[in-house]
C-alpha cells in the first residue's frame, strides 16, 4: 500500500509541475485598411428596393432578407438541404469531431481488463488443474511537456476550421443558386423579348411583301424584313438553349436530376438595395468564414509546433496492475492468488537520426505557411469587397445608361415606322433602328444580370449567408 501511495504522490507532483512547450498562439499583425476601396452606390436611379432591411452591415443580414424573391428563397432552402457539397462538408465536420475525441483520449489513463484460463497436464502427477486469471492493467503517460494538450489544441482548431469550412460552402452555395437563378431570369427575359420581336417582324415582313406585290416598294425591302425576322428567330433558338442549360445547372445545385425550374419575379423586378452598408474592414476578420477557417488552421499549425518540441524531452509513464489467479472461482478476490504492481518509467530520446529535429523544423515551416495563407486570405477578402463595391456601383450606372439608350432606340423605331408608312424614308432606316433596338434590349437584360451578380458577390464578399 505504501508503494501505491508513493506512486500516486509522484503522479500528482508530475501533473502539478506539467507545462506546455511551444509557442502560445497570438494573432499576427495585419495591415487593415480604414475603409474599403470603392464608394457606396449613389441614391439616384435606384433599382427596386428590398423592403424591411435591417440597419446593420450588409454581411450581417440574413439571406432571406437579402433575396426576397419567394421562389428564390425556396430554391436556396432546397439547396441547403439537398446539395451534395453541403453534405460532404458536414461529413468533414463529423470527421474532425471524431478526430478530436481520439486525440484528446491520449490525455487520460488507459485501463484494460484481461482474463485467461489455462489447463495444465503433468504426466508424473495425476489430474489436470485449471488456472484462471483476472486482471486490470493501468497505463498513464504523464503529459508533462503538454504534448497531448497541444495535440488536442490543434485538433480542436481543426474542428473549428472544418465548421467554418462548412460555412464557406454554404455561402458559396447560396451565392451560386442566386446567380444561376438571376442568369436563368436573364435568359427568360431575352427569350421573351426575342419571341415578341419574331411576332412583330413577321407582321413587318407581311406588310413589305404586300407593298412589293402592289408595286409600292422594291424587293430589297422584303429581304431587309427577312433579315430582321431571321435574327429574331435565331435569338429565340439561342436563348431557349441557354435557358434549358441554366435550368440544368440549377438542378444540380439543388441536388436534383436535370429538370424544369420554377420562376418567380422577372429580372427587372428583383428587389435589391442601391445603398449597401458595407461596415468596417476590421469587422471582416470575424465575419468571413474563410478568414476564420484560415486563422483556425494557423492555430492548429502553431499548436503542432509544441507537439514537435515536446518530442525532445523525456516521457514519463506510470503503469499499474491488479488481479487474481486461482484454481477456484471463490478465491479470485482474496487469498494468496491476489496480486498488484505499480511502476514508473522515463524514456529519453538519445539518437533518432535527426528525425526529431527535422520534424520540429517541419512543424515551424508549416506554421509559417499557415500564417502566410491567413494573411493572404485576409488580403484577398479586402480585395473581394472592394472589387464588388466598385463593380456593383458601375454596373448600376451602366444599366441605367443602357435603359436610356434602349428607350431612345425604341422611340427611333416608332418614328422610323411612321416615316416609312408616310413614304418619307426607306425601309433601310426602319431596319437599322430595329436592329439597334433589338441588340440594346438584349444588352439591357445582361446589364440587369450583371448588377444583380455584383449584388450577390458583394453579399458573399462581406461574409453574409452563413448565419443560422
> For residue range 35-85, what is the model confidence (pLDDT) as tens digits?
888 655 444 445 666 655 555 788 899 999 999 999 999 999 999 999 999
Q: In this structure, what DSSP letter does residue 347 have?
A: E
Q: Is residue 156 part of a domain?
A: yes
Measured CA to CA in angstroms, residue 353 lies from 357, 361, 396 at distances of 9, 14, 65
**Cβ–Cβ < 8 Å for 306, 23:** yes
417-451: per-residue pLDDT in tens? 888 788 887 777 878 888 888 889 999 999 999 99
Instruction: Tell me whether residue 467 is in a domain.
Output: no
Specify the higher pLDDT residue, 309 or 221.
Answer: 309
Give domain status of residue 466, yes or no: no
Cell of 404: 436610356
- pLDDT tens digits for 331-366? 545 555 677 777 777 878 888 888 989 999 999 999
- With a pLDDT cut of 90, the percent of the chain lying above it is 50
Assigned domain for 272 exists: yes
Radius of gyration of the chain (CA): 37
Looking at the structure of the chain, the number of domains it has is 1
39 domain residue, yes or no = yes
Has residue 320 been placed in a domain? Answer: yes
The order of strands in the sheet holding 110-119 is: 110-119, 130-142, 315-326, 338-347
In a domain, 224, yes or no: yes
3-class secondary structure, 274: coil
Grid cell locating 363: 512543424
- What is the reported pTM? 0.85
330 class by beta-carbon count within 10 Å (0-12 exposed, 13-18 middle, 19+ buried):
exposed
Is 468 domain-assigned?
no
Are 79 and 253 in contact by the 8 Å Cβ rule? The answer is: yes
pLDDT of residue 66: 93
DSSP bridge pairs for 316: 142, 346
**Helical pair 147-213 and 70-82, crossing angle rounded to 10 deg:** 140
pLDDT of 111 reads: 79
Nearest Cα to Cα of residue 36 among 377, 458, 451: 458
Containing H/E element for 222? Answer: helix 219-253
Is residue 458 within 8 Å of 276, Cβ to Cβ? yes
Q: Distance between CA 463 and CA 385 in Å, rounded?
A: 9
pLDDT at 379 over 80: yes
Where in the sequence is the domain holding 380, given as residue range(s)?
A: 2-461
CATH of the domain at 412: 1.20.1600.10
Reference 72, options 181, 183, 186; nearest CA is 181
Predicted confidence (pLDDT) at residue 13 exceeds the cutoff of 80? no
Does residue 405 contact residue 412 with C-beta atoms inside 8 Å?
Answer: no
Separation of first and last alpha carbons in the chain: 57
Cβ contact 417:409 at 8 Å: no
Q: Express each pLDDT in 285-336 by its tens digit.
A: 989 999 999 999 999 999 999 999 988 888 888 888 877 776 555 554 555 5
Amino acid at each position: 500500500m505504501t508503494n501505491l501511495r508513493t506512486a500516486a504522490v509522484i503522479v500528482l507532483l508530475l501533473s502539478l509541475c506539467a507545462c506546455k512547450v511551444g509557442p502560445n498562439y497570438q494573432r499576427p499583425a495585419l495591415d487593415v485598411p480604414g475603409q474599403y476601396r470603392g464608394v457606396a452606390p449613389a441614391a439616384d436611379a435606384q433599382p427596386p428596393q428590398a423592403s424591411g432591411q435591417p440597419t446593420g452591415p450588409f454581411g450581417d443580414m440574413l439571406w432571406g432578407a437579402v433575396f426576397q424573391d419567394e421562389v428564390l428563397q425556396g430554391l436556396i432552402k432546397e439547396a441547403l438541404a439537398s446539395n451534395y457539397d453541403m453534405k460532404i462538408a458536414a461529413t468533414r465536420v463529423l470527421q474532425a469531431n471524431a478526430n478530436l475525441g481520439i486525440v484528446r483520449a491520449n490525455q487520460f489513463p488507459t485501463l484494460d481488463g484481461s482474463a485467461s484460463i489455462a489447463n495444465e497436464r503433468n504426466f508424473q502427477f495425476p489430474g489436470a488443474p485449471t488456472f484462471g486469471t483476472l486482471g486490470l492493467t493501468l497505463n498513464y503517460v504523464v503529459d508533462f511537456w503538454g504534448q497531448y494538450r497541444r495535440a488536442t489544441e490543434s485538433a480542436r482548431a481543426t474542428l473549428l476550421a472544418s465548421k467554418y469550412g462548412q460555412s464557406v460552402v454554404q455561402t458559396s452555395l447560396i451565392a451560386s443558386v442566386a446567380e444561376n437563378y438571376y442568369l436563368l431570369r436573364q435568359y427568360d427575359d431575352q427569350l421573351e423579348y426575342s419571341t415578341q420581336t419574331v411576332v412583330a417582324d413577321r407582321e413587318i415582313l407581311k406588310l413589305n411583301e404586300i407593298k412589293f406585290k402592289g408595286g409600292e416598294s422594291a424587293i430589297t425591302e422584303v429581304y431587309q424584313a427577312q433579315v430582321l425576322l431571321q435574327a429574331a428567330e435565331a435569338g429565340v433558338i439561342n436563348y431557349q438553349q441557354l435557358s434549358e442549360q441554366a435550368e440544368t445547372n440549377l438542378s444540380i445545385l439543388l441536388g436534383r436530376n436535370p429538370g424544369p425550374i420554377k420562376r418567380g419575379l422577372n429580372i427587372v423586378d428583383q428587389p435589391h438595395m442601391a445603398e449597401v452598408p458595407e461596415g468596417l474592414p476590421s469587422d471582416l476578420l470575424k465575419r468571413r468564414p474563410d478568414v476564420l477557417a484560415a486563422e483556425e488552421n494557423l492555430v492548429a499549425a502553431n499548436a503542432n509546433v509544441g507537439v514537435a518540441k515536446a518530442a525532445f524531452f523525456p516521457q514519463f509513464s506510470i503503469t499499474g496492475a491488479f488481479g487474481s489467479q486461482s484454481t477456484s472461482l471463490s478465491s479470485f478476490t482474496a487469498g494468496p492468488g491476489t496480486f498488484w504492481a505499480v511502476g514508473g518509467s522515463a524514456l529519453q530520446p538519445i539518437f533518432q537520426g535527426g528525425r526529431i529535429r527535422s520534424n520540429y523544423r517541419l512543424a515551424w515551416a508549416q506554421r509559417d505557411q499557415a500564417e502566410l495563407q491567413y494573411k493572404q486570405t485576409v488580403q484577398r477578402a479586402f480585395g473581394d469587397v472592394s472589387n464588388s463595391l466598385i463593380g456593383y456601383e458601375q454596373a448600376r450606372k451602366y444599366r441605367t445608361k443602357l435603359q436610356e439608350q434602349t428607350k431612345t432606340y425604341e422611340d427611333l423605331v416608332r418614328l422610323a415606322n411612321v416615316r416609312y408608312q408616310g413614304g418619307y424614308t426607306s425601309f433601310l432606316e426602319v431596319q437599322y433602328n430595329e436592329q439597334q433596338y433589338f441588340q440594346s434590349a438584349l444588352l439591357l437584360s445582361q446589364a440587369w444580370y450583371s448588377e444583380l451578380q455584383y449584388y450577390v458577390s458583394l453579399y458573399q464578399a462581406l461574409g453574409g449567408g452563413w448565419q443560422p
